[in-house]
């Protein structure tokens, strides 16, 4: 009986009808008026059945970008295409059409609209949190509350980021060095749903270490005013990974590309700088 079971474990499954692989271009592009060069990452979808070790390439690429009245050719890069914003300015409130072609006969197209230029009312305050590591050494961490006054009467989608920069001294020789660190927020991607026209406050879940003893320190806070597609794509990436619940049902990653897969979206940026000391 044991020999029969072991023999059955070694048999290969044959005559299984695998789904036919349909190759598509995969795009990832985020454009903004603040950029000087806009890059479009282009790749191919990959097989999930059959010869998994075989890498499928996108081929030789070309493409165009249009604002409705003017069309510019895209330039090749190591991992896709790009365009200079001097040749095709990315302007507030305009709609852009991206077209990408491969010499394999593949093509993909996507459309996005750049958000209008807005004057956001931004403010922030900092506070220190005492940390006791248990070995007799006490440190303080600097956390940040970031406040955005939402613009009423319209649907808005946001992303926030922050960076800290401080000038400290080496203990052994007293020389000055610059230290930088990124802020992590409790939630960095959100909409104004339920908060239309109200003040939206987001707090760092872990702020800046070592800055409390800096000779001079600054925090730069960025607000991204994004298109809806930008928000849907990044939210779907978070949901796809399961978020904080590892047993939650996975969801498909958002795509707004016709004839292929991926994302073409736009955003604008505003910022404030805080001097801590």
Q: Is the pLDDT of residue 61 over 70?
A: yes
pLDDT in tens, 126-143: 888 777 655 555 677 888
Count of beta carbons in the 10 Å neighbourhood of residue 165: 18
Beta bridge partners of 71: 66
In this structure, what token pair is assigned to residue 250? 């996975």
pLDDT band at 216 (very low <50, low <70, confident <90, very high): confident
Residue 174 burial by CB count (10 A; 0-12/13-18/19+): exposed, middle or buried? Answer: exposed
Q: Which residue has the tokens 């990653």?
A: 253
Question: In whole angstroms, what is the distance from residue 14 CA to residue 215 CA?
Answer: 70
pLDDT given at position 35: 96
- Does 244 or 151 have the greater pLDDT score? 151
Which of 13-17, 63-67, 211-215 is the most confident on average?
Answer: 63-67
pLDDT band at 195 (very low <50, low <70, confident <90, very high): very high
Q: What is the mean pLDDT of residues 185-193?
A: 93
Backbone angles phi, psi at 229, to 5 degrees: -60, -40
- The mean predicted confidence, pLDDT, of the chain is 86
Q: Which of 44-48, 65-69, 97-101 has the lowest mean pLDDT?
A: 44-48
Q: Is the pLDDT of residue 210 over 80?
A: no
Is-contact 121 272, C-beta < 8 A? no
CA distances (Å), origin 15, targets 7, 161, 163, 216: 19, 53, 57, 70
Q: Which residue has the tokens 């692989």?
A: 21
In this structure, what token pair is assigned to residue 216? 């001079």
Q: Is the pLDDT of residue 5 over 50?
A: no
Spell 120-143 as b/e; 16+ CB within 10 A means b: bebebebeeeeeeeeeeeeebbbb
Q: What percentage of the chain exceeds 70 in pLDDT?
A: 84
Q: What is the mean pLDDT of residues 249-274?
A: 90
- Does 47 or 93 have the greater pLDDT score? 93
Q: Is the pLDDT of residue 71 over 70?
A: yes
Domains of the chain: 25-113 (2.60.40), 121-226 (no CATH)
**Which pTM was predicted?**
0.83
Task: Calculate ∠ Cα 158-230-85, nearest 5°.
Answer: 100
pLDDT in tens, 10-51: 555 565 666 788 999 999 999 999 999 999 999 999 887 766
């Amino acid at each position: 009986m044991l020999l029969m079971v072991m023999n059955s474990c070694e048999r290969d499954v044959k005559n299984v009808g695998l789904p036919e692989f349909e190759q598509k271009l995969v795009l990832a592009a985020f454009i903004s008026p603040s950029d000087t060069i806009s890059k479009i990452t282009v790749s191919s979808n990959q097989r999930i059945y059959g010869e998994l070790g075989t890498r499928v390439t996108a081929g030789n690429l070309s493409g165009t970008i249009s604002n409705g009245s003017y069309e510019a050719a895209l330039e090749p890069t190591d991992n896709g295409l790009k365009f200079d914003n001097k040749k095709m300015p990315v302007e507030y409130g305009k709609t852009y059409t991206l077209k990408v072609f491969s010499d394999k006969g593949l093509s993909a197209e996507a459309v996005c609209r750049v958000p209008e230029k807005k004057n956001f009312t931004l403010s922030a305050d900092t506070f220190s949190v005492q940390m006791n590591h248990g070995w007799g050494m006490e440190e303080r961490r600097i956390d940040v509350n970031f406040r955005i006054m939402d613009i009423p009467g319209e649907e808005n989608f946001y992303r926030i980021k922050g960076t800290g920069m401080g000038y400290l001294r080496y203990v052994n020789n007293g020389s000055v060095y610059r230290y930088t660190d990124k802020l992590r927020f409790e939630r960095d991607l959100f909409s104004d749903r339920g908060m239309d026209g109200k003040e939206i406050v987001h707090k760092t879940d872990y702020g800046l270490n070592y800055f409390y003893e800096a000779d001079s320190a600054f925090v730069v806070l960025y607000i991204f005013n994004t298109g809806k597609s930008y928000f849907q794509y990044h939210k779907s990436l978070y949901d796809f990974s399961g978020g904080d619940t590892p047993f939650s049902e996975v969801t498909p990653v958002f795509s707004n590309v016709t004839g292929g897969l991926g994302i073409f979206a736009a955003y604008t940026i505003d910022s404030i700088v805080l001097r801590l000391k």
